[in-house]
Structure 1
């Protein structure tokens, strides 16, 4: 089962509930295990990995795009499940926000195509709310499922979230893609696909 970013969070939670259906996991730019342990975001990476922060952060992207209306729009949707703005307005803002946030998905914030429209802002708010799930780490810990973790050298996801996978899964293995960001597939497709195919082939022979 493959998951990138938020997809890795979903894939890992699926594994916790249906372990017999999963032969192996491949997690790319992995987000945190659910429910999120925010304190892990402050955990430093080992110096030996030579990880570095991207030039632009998600915090900067949010600061550049948020205003009083967008903050009110989010608060009302999150707290009351109501829409302050129309879907068209909210979705247009979401595209604008993602355009700024995607600069953190490469090491230097360059070489990016315009962010495609069509994302649903209110669906995004609901997705974040869905992260509040029962903690199933106890169900994951004894599993012997092979887990491949692919992380760009300047991934925007905090190291502590990746470290938790390594601590939790006995059969976890980390591959760091040099000069890769969170969007490592687009930035070093050859090395990315080579790591994935190698993991798949290895698991098929066992």
Structure 2
């Protein structure tokens, strides 16, 4: 891909890797990946927007191509918020559109609560803005699965055998319904999950999507979403772990926000409906820049 620039940025605790795709004239789009402990996607279809605006990805500390220090004191929302600010300053981004996916929506909201300047708009993709709600919603989904599936998951989690083949195979049935419905899964998605840093995921989140035992256990941004003053778009898939009901409720707390459902997706519309996903993001950011004062 043309016009790709990569490098490393020193942040609190280590160095993080970044990549800028394209140098179009629009306001840069900065992507906050999911996890915690995941990485940026090399085949992210949003990179196609590079001809219109720089598309910036970075792997959060402890993820992907960034450094993986082992100090748990670094795995806090506040430090990741600080890191985001350090990335924006290092790349001299006077204005940005933010797009957070999954855990990245927790990061985006927490950053916006610090009232930074220069954010033109924000997209909450598959939002996880209330950890307890997320856990409840996954458990409600799980009740729709056959009894043997529920049994394996419940027993593995209560007995601490979540690294067993039986558990992993059963979890895939869940993921193929509510995480990514492309069959078979794209190689890159499988590789991205294989490269997840389990130390960060387990410390901040927990054993699985159903069981939040980590430091994010009581994360809940809903009481503060009304403080977000920048234009906000909330999106999710029809079968998303971030349920349409939860996502629409989050949107209702943010003044003048918009809500969109990808009808043929679960949690990974970038893989499930890439053309529609890109077009939705393109239309949104272009419209924000056409507003008066834009």
What TM-score range do you get, normalising by the shorter chain? 0.5 to 0.7
Structure 2 unmatched ranges of 5 or more: 1-97, 206-213
Shift of 1:130: 2.5
| TM-score, length basis structure 1 | 0.65
Paired residues, what number? 178
Distance 1:68 1:174, change over 3 A: closer
Query: What is the rounded CA distance, in whole Å, between the counterparts of 2:135 and 2:171 in structure 1?
Result: 25
Greater RCO (Cα-Cα under 8 Å, separation 6 or more): 1
- CA 201–40 in structure 1, closer or farther in 2 if over 3 Å, else same: farther
Given the two structures, how large is their TM-score scaled by the length of structure 2?
A: 0.48
**Structure with more strand by fraction:** 2
After superposition, where does 1:53-132 map in structure 2 within 5 Å?
57=141, 60=145, 63=150, 66=153, 71-73=158-160, 99-105=172-178, 110-113=183-186, 115-116=190-191, 117-128=194-205, 129-132=214-217
More helix by share: 1
1:175-204 per-residue CA deviation (whole Å, 9 max, x = no partner) reads 222222211111111110011011111222
Partner SS for 1:12? helix
SS at match of 2:120: coil
CA distance in 1, matches of 2:224, 2:154: 42
Superposed structure 1 runs of 4+ greater than 6 Å apart: 91-95
Query: 1:129-152: per-residue Cα shift (whole Å, max 9, x none)?
Result: 222567655543143211111222
Shift of 1:169: 0.5
Q: How well do the aligned residues superpose, as a CA RMSD in angstroms? A: 3.8
Q: Show structure 1 runs of 5+ residues with no match.
A: 43-52, 75-88
